């Protein structure tokens, strides 16, 4: 084809493209939510919010970005990403490293890690951990929870053997490589029980009052685009409320976002889903409202992390936590 | 020529002859300056400055032996895995070079295993062989094995058939042909496979550590990520780079000594 | 047998008593001994259904220098390899030193076209390779290698690697390697083809000098008619498709020979005769292009 025809085709393409852009519906602000994990049932509020049009109501369009792990936090702090899902302890740690992220809304009101063992091992109280081999990913949230439990029970770290097993917790426990493993309470324990294992569980939230995963954003975002933040927080909350009110429907919606799950797995994941729902509420949220967390708990937990050597410096709680967007 | 002019030109000639040796430290200094400059544009948790990385390294590895423990762990895993992989690959490559039918039979499996990224295989090996050093060594060995195998087979097949015939006329036995012809002729290929294998062994060791480890540079990377400690992450990365370069230099020197006939003037 | 041995001893002593350059008389071939005998030889079939060689007959006597000329691709190298024992004929007989079996380097040695020195060995190690292979005493191998290098007039480069040598030096080294085992039959496969004219002439003279000193029997394969006539007692002319010896030209120019010979009428006449014989063998078919595969 000659030059003229070629240019004609190219301009036609651009024209179409431009029209497509212009005609793509009403003004919806695009935001990115970094999930920091693979797609799974624990992200139910956001799946429900999208399916039920809550995002659209609030005037935003949310892109679920599964590409990143927890490194997303740095990108949120630098302003390259809008929102992310992260735990309270991770916000505290990030802030101590100078990464300006803020916690907006709490999903898991209790600290999720727990120490799980097979029933035969007889590990029912923290004291029973003395002299045992505990397998966990040796950093971050799981390590924090483990040390908090040991500290509260007065057990010296040298009295137990901490072994890094990455994310092979289920295999390591069932194969007897370790005596106990540290997992998230709503996840692996459900799966183990569903497989027929009898297990004991020592929850860490009894020893560490901090909240678990929630919605976070960067400091700059709050000052530069508060409308976006408000929209995101409100839509997420609506999603949570809806899921609590209509769990069966919410689970169905969630499944549609996880097409790779087979039938047998779907049954397992339902247990995880229901267990996760239970974590969204505690006394504090019953008093104050869904998504709220206690600033005092933040303060105490940060102090504990400092004492245990997980962070080098403290950050004022009003920088860590911003619950102003939760108000009706 | 005046004394001063003579001195000047003498200096010039010295510099022009040895300027290559100045390039390395100058290059490193330039790199550091550039890094320092660029880090000014970014938050310290995105791109920390060299000084910050250095200070954090001193802080984290407050005793030298702490650093060496992690460094030597990864070094040992990579080195041990490399030796295991390379030494087992050489006889297999001889065997397969001699029997093309067997090679054709096995090639689909080799290609299949090689196609899977080692970061996906590593957790599997950790599950099978535990979280100790053994699994990391095996990961490194696996990845090295295939690299040395392919180059070994290519090298052993690359023998000039005319030389083979000449040696036959001289009355050489099969073993003599191997030791005096096939093996030396394959050495350049084998060495390129070894060099590649060395680099891959480091990747394998670190991948194994990612899948589950309590020490080593890969573990430090995981730890730094979990603590959002970008300066420490950089420190670990730099240490890994030094490790990789060390391996490369090792093979470079070994190749220089073992293959004198390929040296360029 | 006894008389033959006496003869050989006599000539050997004569050679020992005279210096190379002082040798003026024509070397008479030791009578009767057939070093190479090829009878009705045929070699494997080519792709087009014709055997490469068919009905080849030739004979080389002790102390002779015989050249084999023919167009490229007519099987000269194949014939050499059959004589050397690395190829088996499909018909006919080859006898080397009267026997059917493979000779080994101490009786027969080869100088290939590209010198084919092992690149990872020094010149000295390359020359002593054949001795190394036959499990002699290690010290002796070095000594003999040096002697061979001296014979080929290549000294001072013992510790160099082949890639550091010129083409002519490489061929001298290959020559030395062929002589190190004191073989009695020397096969040469177009050894000077890749050299420039001046180096080639030097090596021609070198070869003649070596022949004078050692009395070795030589079979030279070449496509260079001038070279063939200059160096040989007899020139055998081959044709191709199928390969066969179609004729022989006796070169009665006497030894020792100098380069001045090349300009003489007699030399030109002989070259013309070889040329004619060659053209007879060409026939309708064009010469097959050198495939590169047949070259040893």
What tens digit of pLDDT does each residue of B7-19 get? 677 777 766 767 7
| Average pLDDT in chain B | 88
Asked if B157 and B97 touch (Cβ cutoff 8 Å), the reply is: yes
- What is the rounded distance in angstroms from the CA atom of residue B219 to the CA atom of residue B211? 9
Q: Which residues in chain B have Cβ-Cβ distances shorter than 8 Å to A308?
A: none
Longest CA–CA span in chain C (Å) reads 57
Per the CB < 8 Å rule, is B165 touching C86? yes
pLDDT at C243 over 90: no
How many residues can be counted in chain A? Answer: 328
Q: Cβ of B168 under 8 Å from any chain C Cβ?
A: yes
Q: Which residues in chain B have Cβ-Cβ distances shorter than 8 Å to A143?
A: 226
Q: Cβ of C161 under 8 Å from any chain B Cβ?
A: yes
- What is the rounded distance in angstroms from the CA atom of residue B129 to the CA atom of residue B147? 23
User: Strand C65-69 relative to strand C217-222: parallel, antiparallel, unpaired?
Assistant: parallel
Q: Which residues in chain C have Cβ-Cβ distances shorter than 8 Å to B167?
A: 133
Question: What would the pLDDT profile of A287-313 be if each residue is shown by its tens digit?
Answer: 989 999 999 999 999 999 999 989 999
Per the CB < 8 Å rule, is A69 touching B130? no
Do A and B touch, 3+ Cβ pairs within 8 Å? The answer is yes
**Banded model confidence at residue B78, pLDDT cuts 50, 70, 90:** very high
- What is the rounded distance in angstroms from the CA atom of residue A214 to the CA atom of residue A85? 6
Cis peptide before C242 (omega within 30 of 0): yes
**Smallest Cα distance from B210 to chain A, Å:** 8
Q: Which two tokens stand for residue B248?
A: 């490369």
Q: Which residues contact A94 (CB under 8 A, 6 or more apart)?
A: A73, A74, A77, A86, A101, B45, B228
**Banded model confidence at residue C89, pLDDT cuts 50, 70, 90:** confident
- What is the rounded distance in angstroms from the CA atom of residue C100 to the CA atom of residue C83? 10
Q: What is the reported pLDDT for A77?
A: 92
Q: What is the reported pLDDT for C19?
A: 38
Q: Cβ of C194 under 8 Å from any chain B Cβ?
A: no
Among C210, A178, C77, A139, smallest CA distance to B225 is for A139
Q: What is the DSSP letter of B181?
A: I
C59-72 as b/e: b if 16+ CB within 10 A = bbbbbbbbbbbbbb
Q: Pick the range with the lowest mean pLDDT from A13-22, A131-140, C14-23.
A: C14-23
Q: Which two tokens stand for residue C119?
A: 């690149």
Q: What is the reported pLDDT for C233?
A: 92
Q: What is the reported pLDDT for C22?
A: 29
Q: Which residues in chain B have Cβ-Cβ distances shorter than 8 Å to C86?
A: 165, 168-169
Tell how far CA A108 is from the center of its chain. Answer: 8
Which segments of C26-166 does DSSP mark as H helices, in order? 76-84, 123-127, 129-133, 138-151
Among A175, A117, A198, smallest CA distance to B131 is for A175
Say if residue B88 is exposed, middle or buried (CB neighbours under 10 Å; 0-12, 13-18, 19+). middle
Q: What is the reported pLDDT for B265?
A: 43
**Smallest Cα distance from B57 to chain A, Å:** 15
User: Strand C56-61 relative to strand C217-222: parallel, antiparallel, unpaired?
Assistant: unpaired
Among B169, B187, B190, B257, most C C-beta atoms within 10 A, so best to mutate, is: B169
Nearest residue of B to residue C293, measured between CA atoms: B162
- Residues B74-83 have a mean pLDDT of 95
pLDDT at A220 over 60: yes
Asked if B166 and C112 touch (Cβ cutoff 8 Å), the reply is: yes
pLDDT at C17 over 60: no
Strand ranges in B86-219 using DSSP code E only, listed in sequence order: none
Among C203, C206, C180, C205, smallest CA distance to C190 is for C203
- List A83's β-bridge partners, or say none: A33, A217
Question: What would the pLDDT profile of C38-75 be if each residue is shown by its tens digit?
Answer: 777 777 777 777 778 888 888 888 889 999 998 877 78
Q: How many CA atoms lie within 13 A of A235 on its CB side?
A: 25
SS3 state at A84: strand
- What is the rounded distance in angstroms from the CA atom of residue A227 to the CA atom of residue A324? 12
Q: What is the reported pLDDT for B1?
A: 54
Share above pLDDT 90 across residues of chain B, in percent, rounded to a whole number: 50
pLDDT at C8 over 70: no
Share above pLDDT 90 across residues of chain C, in percent, rounded to a whole number: 32
Per the CB < 8 Å rule, is B131 touching A73? no
Say if residue A63 is exposed, middle or buried (CB neighbours under 10 Å; 0-12, 13-18, 19+). exposed
- List A197's β-bridge partners, or say none: none
Q: What is the reported pLDDT for B218?
A: 92
Among A139, B137, B219, smallest CA distance to B128 is for B137
pLDDT at C284 over 50: no
Nearest CB neighbour to C85, from listed B167, B169, B176 = B169
Q: Which residues in chain A have Cβ-Cβ distances shorter than 8 Å to B211?
A: 166, 168
- What is the rounded distance in angstroms from the CA atom of residue B255 to the CA atom of residue A295? 64
Q: How many CA atoms lie within 13 A of A199 on its CB side?
A: 26
| Average pLDDT in chain C | 80
């Amino acid at each position: 084809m000659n030059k003229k025809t070629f240019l004609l085709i190219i301009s036609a393409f651009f024209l179409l493209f431009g029209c497509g852009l212009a005609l793509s519906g009403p003004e919806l602000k695009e935001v990115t939510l970094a999930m920091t994990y693979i797609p799974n049932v624990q992200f139910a509020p956001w799946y429900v919010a999208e399916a039920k049009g809550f995002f659209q109501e609030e005037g935003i369009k949310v892109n679920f970005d599964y590409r990143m792990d927890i490194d997303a936090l740095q990108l949120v702090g630098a302003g390259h990403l809008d929102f992310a899902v992260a735990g309270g302890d991770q916000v505290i740690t990030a802030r101590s490293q100078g990464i300006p992220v803020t916690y907006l809304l709490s999903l898991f009101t209790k600290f999720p890690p727990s120490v799980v063992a097979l029933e035969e091992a007889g590990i029912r109280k923290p004291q029973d951990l003395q002299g045992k081999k505990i397998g966990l990913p040796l950093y971050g949230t799981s390590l924090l929870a483990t040390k908090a439990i040991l500290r509260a029970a007065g057990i010296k770290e040298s009295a137990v053997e901490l072994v890094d097993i990455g994310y092979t917790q289920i295999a390591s426990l069932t194969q007897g490589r370790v005596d106990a493993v540290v997992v998230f309470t709503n996840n692996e324990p459900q799966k183990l029980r569903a497989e027929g294992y009898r297990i004991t569980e020592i929850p860490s939230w009894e020893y560490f009052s901090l909240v678990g995963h929630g919605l976070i954003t960067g400091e700059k975002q709050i000052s530069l685009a508060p409308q976006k933040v408000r929209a995101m927080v409100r839509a997420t909350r609506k999603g949570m409320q809806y899921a609590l009110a209509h769990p069966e429907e919410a689970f169905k919606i969630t499944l549609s976002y996880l097409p790779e799950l087979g039938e047998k797995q779907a049954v397992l994941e339902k247990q995880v889903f229901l267990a996760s729902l239970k974590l969204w509420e505690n006394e504090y949220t019953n008093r104050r409202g869904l998504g709220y967390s206690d600033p005092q708990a933040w303060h105490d937990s940060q102090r504990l992390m400092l004492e245990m050597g997980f962070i080098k410096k403290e950050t004022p709680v009003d920088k860590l936590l911003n619950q102003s967007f939760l108000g009706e | 020529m005046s004394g001063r002019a003579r001195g000047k030109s003498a200096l010039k000639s010295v510099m022009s002859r040895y300027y290559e040796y100045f390039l390395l430290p100058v290059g490193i200094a330039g790199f550091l300056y550039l890094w320092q400059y660029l880090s000014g544009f970014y938050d310290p948790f995105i791109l920390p400055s060299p000084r910050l990385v250095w200070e954090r390294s001193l802080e984290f590895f407050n005793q030298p032996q702490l650093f060496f423990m992690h460094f030597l762990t990864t070094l040992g895993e990579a080195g041990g895995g490399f030796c295991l992989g390379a030494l087992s690959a050489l006889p297999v490559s001889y065997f397969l070079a001699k029997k093309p039918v067997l090679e054709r039979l096995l090639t689909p499996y080799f290609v299949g295993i090689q196609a899977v990224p080692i970061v996906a295989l590593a957790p599997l090996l950790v599950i099978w062989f535990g979280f100790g050093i053994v699994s990391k060594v095996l990961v490194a060995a696996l990845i090295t094995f295939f690299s040395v195998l392919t180059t070994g087979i290519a090298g052993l097949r690359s023998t000039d058939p005319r030389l083979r015939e000449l040696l036959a006329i001289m009355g050489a036995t099969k073993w003599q042909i191997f030791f005096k012809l096939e093996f030396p002729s394959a050495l350049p290929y084998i060495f390129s496979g070894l060099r590649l294998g060395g680099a891959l062994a480091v990747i394998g060791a670190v991948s194994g550590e990612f899948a589950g480890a309590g020490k080593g540079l890969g573990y430090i990377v995981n730890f730094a990520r979990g603590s959002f400690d970008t300066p420490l992450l950089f420190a670990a990365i730099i240490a890994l780079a030094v490790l990789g370069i060390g391996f490369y230099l090792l093979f470079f020197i070994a190749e220089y000594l073992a293959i004198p006939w390929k040296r360029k003037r | 047998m006894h008389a033959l041995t006496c003869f050989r001893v006599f000539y050997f002593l004569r050679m020992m008593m005279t210096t190379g350059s002082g040798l003026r008389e024509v070397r008479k071939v030791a009578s009767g001994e057939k070093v190479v005998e090829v009878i009705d030889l045929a070699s494997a079939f080519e792709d087009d259904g014709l055997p490469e060689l068919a009905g080849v007959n030739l004979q080389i006597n002790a102390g002779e220098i015989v050249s084999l000329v023919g167009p490229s691709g007519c099987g000269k190298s194949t014939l050499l390899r059959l004589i050397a024992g690395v190829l088996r004929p499909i018909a006919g007989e080859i006898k080397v030193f009267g026997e059917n079996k493979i000779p080994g380097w101490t009786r027969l040695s080869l100088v290939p076209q590209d010198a084919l020195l092992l690149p990872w060995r020094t010149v000295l190690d390359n020359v002593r390779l054949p001795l190394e292979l036959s499990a002699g005493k290690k010290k002796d191998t070095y000594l003999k290698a040096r002697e061979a290098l001296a014979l080929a007039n290549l000294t001072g480069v013992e510790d160099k690697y082949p890639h550091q040598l010129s083409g002519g030096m490489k061929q001298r080294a290959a020559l030395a390697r062929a002589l190190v085992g004191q073989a009695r039959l020397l096969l040469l496969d177009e050894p000077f083809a890749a050299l420039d004219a001046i180096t080639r002439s030097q090596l021609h003279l070198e070869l003649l000098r070596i022949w004078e000193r050692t009395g070795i029997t030589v079979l030279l394969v070449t496509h260079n008619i001038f070279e063939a006539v200059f160096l040989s007692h007899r020139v055998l002319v081959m044709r191709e498709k199928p390969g066969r010896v179609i004729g022989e030209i006796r070169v009665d120019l006497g030894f020792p020979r100098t380069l001045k010979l090349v300009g003489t009428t007699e030399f030109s006449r002989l070259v013309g005769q070889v040329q004619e014989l060659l053209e007879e063998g060409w026939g309708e078919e064009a010469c097959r292009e050198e495939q590169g595969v047949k070259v040893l």
